[in-house]
Amino acid sequence: MTPLRKRFIEDMQLHGLAPTTQRNYIHHVAAFANYYNTSPEKLDLEAVRQYQLYLINERQLASETVNGFISAVQFLYLVTLEMPWGKECFPRVRVPYKLPVVLGPQEVEQLFRHIGCIRNRAALMLCYGAGLRISEAVAMRVSDIDSQRMLLRIREGKGRKDRYVMLSPRLLQVLRTYWRAARPRNDFLFPTWRSDRHLSAGAVALACRNAAKAAGLTKHITPHTLRHSFATHLLENGTDTRVIQALLGHASIDTTARYAQVSPQVVAATRSPLDVLAAPRKAPRPRKPQTAG
């Protein structure tokens, strides 16, 4: 490990970046260095600009991926290398606003019926039944399941924040059935053969894609689609937006409010201001002038 890479990792740890973020930053910076076949400390802002254009035009990567690279090199140069540049030197790509894909209740049931592995089904049911991110679902611990209070404790979700979500009776039954069959050897609900590791998010995502294909569902479905569906279905059932915000762990209510845009029931039930206007009255017919007799 080079001294620069070591200090880069230490700086990310000191700033409290999540392990997933640290891995992504290291990946982006390593690819940047390999592209020029030189250490990033010998490169300048023009090199960053040209590599960003390469990612956009030649690699044709998504805007979110390109911006992930910008976040990584911005941290490297401004924090680790302490370059006298401002954040305005690292322009980001405009991310198109897209509404999330949402499944109907029947589509959710159809998806679950085509997941053969009880472990993968339990993990994906956590995403829909409690609105979890896939990273939160696979990292669930047996000790985080509170069957007395019917709650699930989510440890260090996005932003490294803990929160509680509801534990539905059906989800509890699914988790108990899985636990009796798997008998996890440690506190992880979904452990791997290594005692200190849990099931990977990629394995569950692959199972989700295969199940969607087997079920004949044409929508682009990922585990996060189940989280979107959880929020939308709660909204359609009349759950307050603030409650949904707390369950999802959103920092801003604006992030939660977008589910109102994808719920056809909420949109259709919204009264148009046109309907509030009084019905137009018919214009009175002009009277014929009376002539003197």
Catalytic residue list: 133, 158, 224, 227, 250, 259
Angstrom CA distances, 10 to 3, 24, 79, 168, stand at: 11, 15, 11, 41
Residue 233 sits at the vertex; the CA angle it makes with 101 and 113, to the nearest 5 degrees, is 75
Residue written as token pair 């005692």: 195
Q: Which residues contact 181 (CB under 8 A, 6 or more apart)?
A: 118
Selection from 140, 131, 137 nearest residue 108 by Cα: 131
Q: Give the length of the chain.
A: 293
* CA 80 – CA 68 distance, rounded (Å): 17
Distance, CA of 282 to CA of 73 (rounded, Å): 68
The rounded distance, in Å, linking the Cα atoms of 224 and 124 is 9
In contact, 223 and 205? CB cutoff 8 Å? yes
Q: How far apart are CA 104 and CA 108, in angstroms?
A: 6
